[in-house]
Structure 1
Amino acid sequence: MSFLPAVDRAAFAVAFADRLRQHGVAVELTATQDFVRALVAVPPVSRTALYWSARVTLVRRRPDLTRFDEVFGAVFGEALLSLDPNARRDGARSGPRGGDARSPAPGEPYDVSGASGDRRGLPWVTLPPVVADADRRDDVELAVPQRLPSDLAGVLNTPFEQLDAVQAQLLGRWLERALREWPVRRSRRFAVRPGGPRVAIRETAAQARRTGWDPVHLVRTGPVRRPRRVVVLCDVSRSMEAQARAYLHLMRALALTTHAEVFAFATSLTRLTTTLGNRSTEAALEEATERVADRFGGTRIAHCLSTLLASHHGGTVRGAVVLIGSDGWDGDPPERLAAAMARLRRRAHLVVWLNPRAATPGFVPRTTTMAAALPYVDLLLPADTFGDLLRVPGEVARHVRRR
C-alpha cells in the first residue's frame, strides 16, 4: 500500500523541493525530476522509504543533510534522525544561503515553516497564491470543470472549409510530424542482416580469422529496403478552394519526410518541391501560393498529367506511388483523361486518388471525367479532413502489402 495514495507526485516533489530551497538546501531541477522518477519507480510504502527516496535524489551535498532532516521532520511529524547517525555530526551543519541569513546555534532547531510561516506541511497540489478574497455568491452553483480533449484533437475530423487559418496551420504541423510510415521497396544493395538469404564472404572470412580460419559463424546479408518514391499532384482550382491550403500542408509534409516530388495544377502544372522544402511553414506556403498563378481558376487534369509525363520529371513517376488530390471536375474531354491515366498507370507502382467528395455517405462518381479515371486508380480515398490525410500512409501501406 502506498504511503502517499492519490497524490500528484510531480506537485508533491516540486513543493517539497521548494520548501528545501527556502531553508538553504541546494535542490536542482534535475534532482527534483529524479525524485519524481523515484516515486514512480518505487512508490514509498512507509515514511522511512519516502525519507530515503527523497534524501538520495534531492541531497547532493553532505552539509545539507542536517537541514534536510529538519525540514523532513517538520513536514512529516517526527524527524527520522536515528536512521543516519553520521548526518548528525556538528561538522555537517552549514548555514543557509544568503548574506543576511543567521545560522542557528548548536542545539537550536531550524525554522522549517513555509514562506507564510505555517507549519502544516506540504500542499499536495500546486495552487496559485491568493491575492484577494473571492466574492461569495450563494446564487451561483459551483461545478467541477469537465475534462475536454485538446483543440487539435477536437477539430481533427472537421471539414477543411470549417477550419480557420490558425487551426489549419497547427494541424499542418501535426501532419508533418505524423507522416512517418510509408511503403518501402527492395533496392539492389545488400547489407549485413541477421537471417539474411545470402552469406557475406568477406565478413565471414574476417570472422574466421578468430577461429583458426574455420567459418564457425556465418555472416548473412539481406537487401536494403528504401522508401518508395512519392509523386503528389494536387488540384488548386476553384472547386478545390476550401481544400487547397490543407493539401499544400500534405504536400509539404510529404516533401519533408519522404523527399517526394510535389506539383500543383489547375489549368497548368507547377512544381513546388523546392518551394515547400523551406524551413518556415508560413514562408513556404506563402511562396507556393504566389508561384501558382492559375489557382482558383479552371481545371485541366488531362493536360497537366500529359505535361508531367512528357517533361523531364516524367521519370520520377516510374515505380512511384502517385497521389492525385482532386474532386474530379475536369474541363478536358473524358477520353483524353482516360488516355493520360492509362499512361500514368503503366509507369507508376500505385495510383491513389484523394477525393474530398468521397467522404459523403453513398458517394458515387457521377462526373464523366472521374468515371473515366477510376479504372486506372488502385485506391480511392476520402480526403475531407486532416484525419483523412493522416490515414493515407497506413491505407497505402496495407494496399501495397496485399499486392
Structure 2
Amino acid sequence: MSDDANRHDPAPNLVLGDADGGRLAENIMHFARVLRTAGLPVGPGKVLDAIDAVSQVGVASRRDFYWTLHAVFVNRRDQREVFDQAFHFFWRNPNLLERMMGMLLPAMRGEEAPEDKPELSPRVAEALAGEREPERPQEQEEEEIELDAALSVTDREVLAEKDFEKMTKDELDRARQAIKRMRLPIKPVKTRRYRADPGGRRADLRATLRASARQGGDLIWLKKRSRRRENPPLVVLCDISGSMDRYARMLLHFLHALTNDRDRVHSFLFGTRLTNITRHLRDRDPDAAIDKVTAAVEDWAGGTRIGESLHRFNADWSRRVLSQGPVVLLITDGLDREGAAGLEVEMERLHKSCRRLIWLNPLLRYDGYAPKTAGARAMIPHVDEFRPVHNLDSLAKLADTLSRSESAATGEMVRWKKLAA
C-alpha cells in the first residue's frame, strides 16, 4: 500500500477549492491531464468517471480520495508508481505548482521536499512541469536569435548513453524511433546444403553430367559447388518481471524491429510463465503489435521463475525453434524468486541446444556489478557472451557482438566465470 495513501491529512489540504466545491471538477481534470502526459491512458470518459466517483465517496478522508482516483485511473500494475508520485505532488497543498517547481529546481530545494520520498520519476516531473502556464516573454527591443539544437550530435550521444529507466516520455519516444531503424547483422554460417559456385572447391557430379548430356556427351565441363551460407535463426527469451519492466517495454520495440527485418526470429516473454509472442510481433504496425503482446501476457511486472520458464521452453519449444542451430538472446537480470531452483540444469540444456547463448543483463550498467546471486551463479557457466542492455548504445554494441566470431569473447567470459565461482 502506498505511503501516500496512509496519510490522513485534513481535507482542506487537498486543493479541492473553496467551500462551494466549484473547483473540484476542474482540479480532477488537471490531475487527469498530468497522468495522461505521464503516459497513462486517461481520456475524457475516465475524467467523468472520476468526478462521479469522488462525488459518491466524498473527500472527507485523504485515504478514500486517493483510492477512489486510483480505482478509476489505474488499470495495470506498472501504472501504480506513476499515479502515486503524481498524486503526492499534485494534491500536496494549494500552491501545488510553485511547491512542485521548487522541488524540481536544485537551487530552490528546501524543507518542502519530504526526505523519505523516492526520487521523482522523470515522466511525472515532465508531466507536472507541463502543467505550469507558460510565462509571457517580455517585449525586447533587441532582435532575438533562435537556435534549434534538436537532433544535434551532442543530443544523440546523450540519448544513446542515457539509461532507459531515467528517460522522460519525450526521450522514450525518440529512443523508440531510433530502435525502429536498428539492424542486427548476424554472421552467416555454413549450412548442409550446397549451391552452384564456379569457384567452389567441391565437384558437382550431378550438374556436370546434366550439362554434358545437353551437349550430346562430347564435352564435359566440370561443375563445382560450395556450402550455402545463411543467417542462423534468432531466439529471444525476455524477462518481464517487475525489476525488468521499463527495459522489457523498450526491448519489445527492439524485438519488433528484428522480427520485421529478418526471417526466423522467435520471441518469448517470461515472468512466472512462458508466453510465445512471435506471431504478435509480425504486425507491421509497432503500436498494434505491442497492444497484441500486452493483451496476450498475463504476468507482466510480476515475479520471476527463470528456472521454471526455461524448463517449459526446453520441454515445449526447443525441438521446434532450436533445431537449426540458432543464436539465443537471454534477457534477464538473473533475479529468481525461487532461488534458482533447477536453473543450472535448464541452462545447460539450452546451451547445448543452440549455436550461441548470449545473456543480456541491465545490471551490468553498474561498474561494481558481480554475479553473486544464486540465479547469476547458475547461469554464468553456460553462456557464451555476457553483455549489458540498458540504453541505445548497448543495443548498438550488441550488433558488433553478434558479427564477430564465437571465440572472440572467450577471455572476457573466463573472468566472469571466475567471479561467479
- TM-score band w.r.t. shorter chain: 0.5 to 0.7
Give aligned pairs, total. Answer: 267
Alignment correspondent of 2:225: 221
Q: Unmatched 5+ residue regions in structure 2?
A: 1-138, 411-421
The answer as to 2:239 corresponding to 1:261 is no
Amino acid at match of 1:371: R
Q: Which runs of structure 2 are paired with 1:284-363 in the superposition (5 Å)?
A: 284-318=289-323, 319-363=325-369
- Take 1:146 and 1:340, find their aligned partners in 2: how far apart are those partners? 50
- Structure with the higher fraction of residues in helix conformation: 2
- Take 2:308 and 2:389, find their aligned partners in 1: how far apart are those partners? 23
Offset of 1:207 from its aligned partner? 6.6
Question: TM (normalized to structure 1)?
Answer: 0.59
The answer as to 2:197 corresponding to 1:193 is yes
Alignment correspondent of 2:172: 168
Seen in structure 2, the aligned counterparts of structure 1 residues 214 and 174 have a Cα distance that, compared at 3 Å, is farther
Offset of 1:227 from its aligned partner? 1.2
Offset of 1:377 from its aligned partner? 1.1
CA contact (8 A) 1:333 1:369 kept: yes
Offset of 1:193 from its aligned partner? 2.3
Seen in structure 2, the aligned counterparts of structure 1 residues 207 and 343 have a Cα distance that, compared at 3 Å, is closer
In structure 1, the residue corresponding to 2:275 is in which secondary structure? strand
Offset of 1:211 from its aligned partner? 12
Offset of 1:286 from its aligned partner? 1.4
CA contact (8 A) 1:152 1:171 kept: no
Alignment correspondent of 1:233: 237
Q: Which runs of structure 2 are paired with 1:96-115 in the superposition (5 Å)?
A: none
Amino acid at match of 1:354: L
Offset of 1:175 from its aligned partner? 3.0
- Take 1:384 and 1:267, find their aligned partners in 2: how far apart are those partners? 22
- Take 2:341 and 2:305, find their aligned partners in 1: how far apart are those partners? 13
In structure 1, the residue corresponding to 2:279 is in which secondary structure? helix
% identity of equivalent residues: 28
Q: Which runs of structure 2 are paired with 1:363-378 in the superposition (5 Å)?
A: 363-378=369-384
CA contact (8 A) 1:230 1:260 kept: yes
Seen in structure 2, the aligned counterparts of structure 1 residues 242 and 312 have a Cα distance that, compared at 3 Å, is closer
CA contact (8 A) 2:318 2:353 kept: no
- Take 1:371 and 1:377, find their aligned partners in 2: how far apart are those partners? 11
Seen in structure 2, the aligned counterparts of structure 1 residues 204 and 167 have a Cα distance that, compared at 3 Å, is farther
Offset of 1:198 from its aligned partner? 1.5
- Take 2:189 and 2:210, find their aligned partners in 1: how far apart are those partners? 30
- The one-character-per-residue Cα deviations of 1:345-364 (angstroms, maximum 9, x if unpaired) are 12111111000011221321
Seen in structure 2, the aligned counterparts of structure 1 residues 137 and 218 have a Cα distance that, compared at 3 Å, is farther
Question: TM (normalized to structure 2)?
Answer: 0.57
Alignment correspondent of 1:21: none
Offset of 1:333 from its aligned partner? 2.9
- Take 1:367 and 1:235, find their aligned partners in 2: how far apart are those partners? 16
Aligned with residue 159 of structure 2, among 155, 158, 181: 155
- Take 1:167 and 1:212, find their aligned partners in 2: how far apart are those partners? 70
- The one-character-per-residue Cα deviations of 1:146-197 (angstroms, maximum 9, x if unpaired) are 7932855541221111234554354344434332411322222211224211
Deviates more, 1:335-344 or 1:279-288: 335-344
Seen in structure 2, the aligned counterparts of structure 1 residues 386 and 314 have a Cα distance that, compared at 3 Å, is farther
The answer as to 2:245 corresponding to 1:244 is no
- Take 1:144 and 1:296, find their aligned partners in 2: how far apart are those partners? 42
- The one-character-per-residue Cα deviations of 1:22-55 (angstroms, maximum 9, x if unpaired) are xxxxxxxxxxxxxxxxxxxxxxxxxxxxxxxxxx
- Take 2:253 and 2:179, find their aligned partners in 1: how far apart are those partners? 8
Offset of 1:339 from its aligned partner? 1.3
Seen in structure 2, the aligned counterparts of structure 1 residues 144 and 152 have a Cα distance that, compared at 3 Å, is closer
In structure 1, the residue corresponding to 2:403 is in which secondary structure? helix
- The one-character-per-residue Cα deviations of 1:251-287 (angstroms, maximum 9, x if unpaired) are 2222222431100010000100000111110010111
Q: Unmatched 5+ residue regions in structure 1?
A: 1-134
- The one-character-per-residue Cα deviations of 1:218-266 (angstroms, maximum 9, x if unpaired) are 4422111111111101011101112011111122222222431100010
- Take 1:206 and 1:344, find their aligned partners in 2: how far apart are those partners? 44
Offset of 1:289 from its aligned partner? 1.4
Alignment correspondent of 1:275: 280
CA contact (8 A) 1:303 1:332 kept: no
Seen in structure 2, the aligned counterparts of structure 1 residues 136 and 303 have a Cα distance that, compared at 3 Å, is closer
Offset of 1:136 from its aligned partner? 8.3
